[in-house]
Each structure stands twice: as structure tokens, then as C-alpha cells.
Structure 1
Amino acid sequence: MSAFARHRRALLTASVLLTALGTTAVLPVATASAAPTLKAGNTAKAAKTAPKPNPAGRYAGKAVAVGKDMVAVLRNDPKAGGPEAWIRAVPKNWRSGDPYMGRTLAKLDRGHVTAAQRGLSLRLVDPTGSKPALRVTGAKGGPRTYALPKVGTPDARGCTIITEHFIGAGTVAVLSNGLSGPSAFFKDAGDGTRFAGVVNRAHPSLPKSAGFLAQIVDPNGAAPKLRTNMEGGGHPASTTPFPAPGCVK
């Protein structure tokens, strides 16, 4: 009997004995199945399809109306220099939730803690402390203080991006997208009156009673779109992409 045959017979005998004892035989490494590995091409593909934050997130934040047709966009991101208040011009009928990326009038940060705009005095309070805030004086109703978002929160990092698009019949769709997913509401293109309700992940379509079609396509996907039809009667619907979020996690 050859050496190979004797070795094979010994392995078979050991396997039978172990099985009889209720024990699993451990075979030589050469006979074990190799564990699956992720190919280099698949790794590159996964990296390529990973979502990227919207560059506009650097200028996004929590927008608050401070008077005189201005908003303060409040941020607090240590990776971007810490507490900031971007003072921007907005339309007269601006409301919370509307786009705010208008003309920049002033920027307050640790290096520039005061500014004056349209008769208002603005000061960044406690810029190096744990509770930075924006102090506004000169407006009707007296001085007001607006706390900046806490570090690490979506508002502090500018995670939610807001855009608006004319969709026909005198209607503007205001689209936003952030960590909680896409959302849209509708307003009159003239006076800004909001109507018809909101669509989001929980309620991706407007009810028929709204009088027009509005539906989020792929609300849980990486590239959601808003599908609208303001005319009906066989008129083709249009789609508008939502902005990418300002941060991805």
C-alpha cells in the first residue's frame, strides 16, 4: 500500500470514529471551502455609488427671520470653523421652511462678532463658549436672542438643503432633503400662500382632493424626484429632482 493510500485510509478511519462519538471531524485546510472575498471591482463600484454630501451644505443651517426682510442662517460646525451666523436677504413674504440662499449681507463668526444691517445691530454672543447665540437689537419688539444649533445636530452641520421650482399654474414647489428624507410643499408664486399640504416619506402623494398630481418617486432612494401635473386631461407629468442632502449621516 502506498504512503498516500495509507494516509487517506487513516483519515477515513478517524472520521468514522469521530462521527460515532458525535464529534465533527476537522478536515485538513486544503479540503475546506475558501471564504468569499469582495473583488476589487466590486469595492470600487460600492465606493463610486456611495452618496456624497451636497456642497451647498457648507452654507446651510437653521434659518430664522430677524426682521427688515433678512434671515440669519445659524450654524455651529467645528469642522467649518465653529459658530456662524450668515445674514441673508429674503423676499417680504419669506416664511420658515422657504429657501434662504439669497444675497449675503454679512457673516458673523469668531473673528467677526458684530455687524450692522438695515438699521439692526447684530452680535455673536459667547462665540468660544458652549452656548453661542445671535443677539439682534434695533428691531420692533425690542432685542431678541437666537440660540445657535448644538454641535453635531443636523441644523448645526447644514444637513437639510432647500430649493424651489415653478411647476406651472402659478405654483411653486419647495423641495427639501436631509437626513429625514425628501419633503415638498406648495405655494402661490405671487404672494407665497401655501396650499394643498405636504408630501414626504410617510405621505409620498397628495390626496385627489388637492386638485393636482404631486408624488415623490423613490422617496427612500438615493435620488428621489417630485412628479407633478398641474393640468391633467392627459397632459404629461413633469419630474423635478430633489437636492442632495448637505450631509449623509
Structure 2
Amino acid sequence: MSGILPTAWLNRVFNQDALEGIPQLPDESIDLVIADPPYGLGKDYGNDSDRRHPDDLLKWTCRWIELVLPKLKPSGSLYIFTTWRYSPEIFLYLKQRMIMVNEIIWDRKVPSMGGTTRRFTSVHDTIGFFAKTSQYYFDLDSVRIPYDPQTKKARSRSIFVGKKWLEIGYNPKDVWSVSRLHRIHSERENHPTQKPLEIIERMVKASCPPGGVVLDPFAGSGTTIAACLLNQRNYIAFEINPDYYQIILKRIEKINHGESEW
């Protein structure tokens, strides 16, 4: 039945190709999709999924998008990680089917260490934020960034007194400066493109209601699952690589036993 998600599917990660598993989900049963698919960087995910010809990559991307969109509730939304090389084509495709809310730039805070001499060094990922309808869920207050004491003191004029934005913080901008996870970082798992928990938690808290369901078609190291577990959201996830699947299971067990993510 449309919109009714079997309890057996909740809070499960499947060691399966998402393109095979997603069609089994009921339509309009998902609150939020967070997708961090292979996007043409040539990374080794234990297969050739990130080494497709550009035309094949875009066709594959459109294919999984078409599978995902019917599963979103009318209030649902989607975040997709991509690269500047393909974001124009992918965003144009999505804009024909959804409402584009934001283009978010993830500044990975990469130090200047040489690199190419024929163009400017790329140090960001592009994230598209799309909504299924204009009635999409969005909780800004859950992700506001508090002002530091000096800033609050500087806004002491009477016109600022009692202002909500001053008391609980400001709206995050569309450039997110969050350091990539270096190998020495305690959060880091053995995955080449693991995303920081800080970024995924912001998406989960802002765009999925408490108790709602997040779908991650390409779970990788399990960061979306961790964000859901730590913030009282349900999840359904797919990860085709058996080694990454085991990493995810260990990460889930660690969180369920109350061990710190750090």
C-alpha cells in the first residue's frame, strides 16, 4: 500500500545494489533521501562504479533518480553530492522533476599544497538540495548556528533585543566550510570519500522530522545511518560493497552500545 512502510524495512542496511532494492519500497514512504553516489572521481570502491564514461555515469544517475523520486512523500526532499563537472547536467535533470531549493558548496578546507598549474585547484564538492513539492519539511531552528558572545554583545541596540535570530543563532549559509576527514581523524573509517558527520547531521535534522525515515541508496561508511541513530530518525540504506557493509554494521553496533562516534 502506498505510503505504508513495513516495519521490517526500518533501520536496516542491505548489502544489495540500490537499483534492485529501491523498487521494493512503497511509494511516498520516505521523508528524506541523502545520496552520495559515485560521481566520476575515479575512486576505488571495490568495483568500477566510479570509472564510468561520462555519458554512462549520467545515464546511471538518471536511472537511480527515477527509482527514488516516487518513494518520497509530498513533504520529502533530496540531497545529492556531486562534482562541478556533472552538477549542471544532474541539476537540470532534477529541476525538471523537483523544486531546487539550494546549491550548497561544501568547502573541504583543503590547504594549498600545489597541484595543477593549468587551472585553479578544486577544493569543494557540490550538493544539490531539492524538494518534491512546495510543502517540503524544513526545520531551520534545529540547525541554527549560535552567535559567539562578542557578536551578541555587539548587537546590543534596542532594535536587536529579543530577536530570535540573535538568541538562538543564524541560518547556515549555502557554503559549508567543514574539513574533510583526514586519515588521522578519529571519525574516519576505511572509505575513500567518507563525508563528515557534521554535514549529514545538518541535512537530517533540517529535512527529516523526528521519527521520520531517511533513505541512503549508497551508504558507504554509514555516516547517514550514524546521523539517524544519533538524532532519533529511522533509516533504510543500501551498500553493494561487502567490506563497507561490514564497516557499517560495526559502526551501528558501536553507536547502539553508547560509544562515542569520535
- Structure scoring higher RCO (CA < 8 A, sep ≥ 6) equals 2
TM-score range, shorter chain: under 0.3
Q: TM-score, normalised by structure 1?
A: 0.21
More strand by share: 1
Q: TM-score, normalised by structure 2?
A: 0.20
